[in-house]
Each structure stands twice: as C-alpha cells, then as structure tokens.
Amino acid sequence: MDDDKGTVSLWTATDETPARRQLTRDQKADVCVVGAGIAGMTTAYLLGKAGKKVVVLDDGEIGGGETAHTTAHLTAALDDRYYRLERMHGELGARLAAESHSEAVNQIETIVREESIECDFERVDGYLFLAEGDVRDTLERELEACHRAGLADVRLVGRAPIAAFDSGPCLVFPRQGQFHPLKYLGGLAKAIERDGGRIFTGAHVTSVTGKRVITVAIGDGGKMKVKAKACVVATNSPITDMYVTHVKQAPYRTFVVGFRVPADSLPHLLLWDTGDPYHYIRTYRDLDGAGVLIVGGEDHKTGQADDAETRFDAIEQWTRTHFRIAGETRYRWSGQVLEPADGMAMIGHNPGDNPNVYICTGDSGNGMTHGTIAGILLTDLIQKRSNPWTTLYDPNRGMVSRSSVKDLAKENINVALQYAKDYVHPSDVGSEDEIPSGSGAVIREGRQILAVFRDEAGALHKRSAKCTHLKCIVHWNSTESSWDCPCHGSRFDPMGKVLNGPAVTGLEEVE
C-alpha cells in the first residue's frame, strides 16, 4: 500500500474463468439463480449436476460481491459459540449446525477434487484462543458444547503450534479448510456451463414475480426477462423480501489487513480469538510467492461509523504486538457481514412469497460454509427432497430464545434510533464548498436531504439521501467511496447506483 486511503483486496479474479456473457434476449430455465457468489454458484452447480437447466444472473462479476471480500475460512468453529447456539436452538440445533458446517467443508473438498479446481484448497487445523481479558472457562465451556454437538475431535491444548505467536491455551478444531475464493468460483463457473447452465453478468435484477412460472425482470423497466419454474435469490441481502429477514439480522462492516511475511515462515492454520468483535487470522501467498499474514476484525455496524483508517490502524497495531514477524502492509479491504440474531443463516422459502422462490442470507461471518450449505439445502428443497437442516435454517423461523429476542430488540432499537437521529441531524458540512474532490456529504436543502458527491474534476452530483429500501438516510463511507445505509446495509456507489441490497433501485435523482 503506498497511501493511507482506499482498499486493495488480496483476491483477484482469475484468468481461467470462462468468458462472461451479456444477456441479450429473454431466457427460460428450470431454475433462475440471482447472485453469482458462493451461495448462488454452489446452488447452480449442484442443480446442474442434478440435471436442471439453470440460468445465473449477477449485476456484477462472478464472485464480485461479498465472496471477493471474504478471508475464506472454511470451518465448523462458529463465532457464535456452541454453548450459545445450544441456548438458542437446543442441543439438536447445535448438532445440526456442527454437522452442516462440517459437511459444507467436505462438499467443497469433494467439488475441488471432482472438478480438479486449482484453488489452493487445503485442510488446516483451526485454533480458538482467548482474547485479552477472557478466561479459560470460556474455552472449557465451548469444548464441552462442541463435544455435545458432535465435534468429538475438538480438544484443548496449551498453545497453537506457531513459534511467532504465543496464543496461550486454545481449542483445536482439526481438519478445517481454506482456499482462494475466486479461483474456486472460476472452477464452479466452468462446471456449471459444461453441464448446460448459462451465466450472465452485468444483469441487474429489478423484480421477481409470478406464481407457477417465476418471472425475473432485468434492467430498467424490466426490459429482459428470465422465466423459470423456481428462483433462488442469493444476493447476500435478499432483494425480494422487504421486512421479514431484514429485521432479524443486522449488517456490519468488517476490516482486513494483509501483511507481508517471509515465505513459509508461518504454518498453514486458522486462528480466531474469543473477542467481540473477534480477530480472525490465516495465511496465503502473494503473486510473487511471498507469504501474506491476513488479519481481520474491528467490525462496526454498516453506515454508523466512518473511521475505517482507525480500524485498519487498530488491526495493524494488534498484529504487530502479537506477530513480530509481520512486515509491510500490502492489502486492506472491508466486507459486509450479516449477523442474524440467532447466529444461523436464513436459507429456504422466501417469507410471504410463492413456495418456489427461495433465499439465502445471514452469513454470520461464515459465508463460505453457509453459502455451501445453501447449495446443498436449496438443491434438496427444489427437488422436493427432505433435508434435516430445513427447520434450523428456515427464514420463517421465530427467533424466540431469550438471547436471540434480546439481540433482535437491541438491533431494531438501534435502527429506530438511527432513523430518528438522521432525520433531525443537521448537514455533515456547512455548504457544498466544504466537500473535497472525490468525497461526499449529506446536506439539507430546504425539506430535501441530499447525498452530494464531488467528483475528481470538481463537479457536484446530487441524489436523494433516502435509501430506496425503507428510506433511512445514507452515510458517506470515505474509505470505500460509497453511500452506506445504517439500517439494513444497502450500499450505493458515489453516483447512487446500488452496490448491495436489499435496495434494488439507485438513490433517486433530484432537481
């Protein structure tokens, strides 16, 4: 990194992905999958293997959404902790959670092997260590809960096998996994097309309607359409549901820094601490073969802070304190995590919709495994096969345990307060003149609240600051140059174009 602004991700698209196709005419399919991230692509792959005709649509590139912003830990070690999941979902629920995440890692391994995908997949052990101030009892409670959940090989050890870092006592989760997420999706894309699937990028879906036949409309005014017997909406945050899932989960930004380290100076493993937000750590290698130590954490609620530099600095400071070996900072990026109040993703029928419209959302920081679980579960549901995980992941489930109700109330009070605060809050700046080039600010003009962006040439671009999902006021994110909604996580580019749902349409133009 040669400056202190902006972000650079370690993951870059691979040249090996098949050439993408622009959608130029209406399509028909058995299943239309909206979203070409891990959940959509795994679902499309498994349905294609089952003989279904599949069309995949994405308004960006394959894996260009949150899959490009993950650190790709593949694990059944869930950050919501099994002793808490037991309280929320019962012992059976915790067992099913452990089983489904373990099975997701197995599924990825199987696909990598059968499709010969060169994505640097490897089995590695994962280590959960104590955050500063936390006590050994946390590990002991989690160990017992892991065993009750069926993770019999988890054990407590004195420290992780890494000379450069004294972890102290930690739980070992043997045979977890890691890979390069975009190389993996490149391999899935080839296999989907080989099996007769069609993938269209640059296709912005604006609506999903219909009963026996689902019509997926693309582009302004729905100029083009895909007609299908079923539709899977895997857009990270669902664009087909206005309320039900959005009030049961909260969007957070999480931050990642990649440090140069000497090649092969660190063993290949996954590390997490027990903090909240927690630190998550793995290694990879740079294009030139040097090692990269990847450290993430410092999450905040989307749109409710604009201090990414401080958060990157905090990660850097923490890393340099614990890993003396950490060298130059090479990468910094941020991603969005959707935290469901009860810790489990929502995968299944879209609430209040036709039974043949399905969603996957609520990655809970385990997007790679939750996305793969979605592929397995939705393929079963679409083929009318029973699956033991259906109830645990049902998007219509109530979140009734005491702790999930408490979390749910806390998040929704936060949204209500933010909504009220933003509508009475004065402008970010006194006048447009105070907005520097390449930056944005919210300004009141009479009764209007505007999102004003000044481009590098000095020209001003004004949009309504009201998020097109449910009208919360967006906030400027100076590091990622985006307008972020503090309520349910919609994000827009500086000109108001949608980057993340649930909003489907861009910020409105103003006179």
> Where along the sequence are the contacts to ligand FES (CB under 6 A)?
467, 469-470, 472, 485, 487-490, 502-503
Closest to ligand FES by CB, 264 or 509: 509
Closest to ligand FES by CB, 231 or 487: 487
| C-alpha–C-alpha distance, residues 68 and 54, integer Å | 23
The minimum distance between CB 404 and ligand FES, in angstroms, equals 21
The minimum distance between CB 359 and ligand FES, in angstroms, equals 16
Closest to ligand FES by CB, 295 or 467: 467
Q: Which helix (H) or strand (E) holds 300?
A: strand 291-301
| C-alpha–C-alpha distance, residues 291 and 264, integer Å | 6
Closest to ligand FES by CB, 383 or 505: 505
**Cβ-contact 335, 361 below 8 angstroms:** no
The minimum distance between CB 496 and ligand FES, in angstroms, equals 13
**Cβ-contact 126, 160 below 8 angstroms:** no
The minimum distance between CB 368 and ligand FES, in angstroms, equals 24
DSSP code string of 251-281: EEEEEEEEEEE-TT-S-S-EEEES-SSPPEE
The minimum distance between CB 242 and ligand FES, in angstroms, equals 9
- The two three-digit tokens of residue 78, written as one number: 């869930």
Half-sphere exposure of 501 (CA within 13 A, CB side): 27
| C-alpha–C-alpha distance, residues 466 and 423, integer Å | 10
The minimum distance between CB 468 and ligand FES, in angstroms, equals 8
The minimum distance between CB 39 and ligand FES, in angstroms, equals 20
Q: Of 498, 489, 468, 37, whose CA–CA distance to 232 is shortest?
A: 37
Identify the residue whose tokens are 């006194």: 430
The minimum distance between CB 474 and ligand FES, in angstroms, equals 7
Closest to ligand FES by CB, 174 or 352: 352
| C-alpha–C-alpha distance, residues 435 and 428, integer Å | 10
Closest to ligand FES by CB, 57 or 467: 467
Q: DSSP secondary-structure letter at 489?
A: -
> Cα dihedral sign for 137, 147, 347, 113?
positive
Closest to ligand FES by CB, 395 or 502: 502
The minimum distance between CB 25 and ligand FES, in angstroms, equals 32
Region at 134 (left for phi over 0; alpha for psi -120 to 50; beta for the rest): beta
Query: In terms of C-beta density within 10 A (0-12 exposed, 13-18 middle, 19 or more buried), how is residue 458 classed?
Result: exposed
Q: Coil, strand, or helix at residue 455?
A: coil
| C-alpha–C-alpha distance, residues 10 and 464, integer Å | 34
Closest to ligand FES by CB, 180 or 475: 475
Closest to ligand FES by CB, 223 or 421: 421
Closest to ligand FES by CB, 314 or 470: 470
The minimum distance between CB 238 and ligand FES, in angstroms, equals 11
> Cα dihedral sign for 257, 263, 267, 268?
positive
Which residue type sits at 155?
R
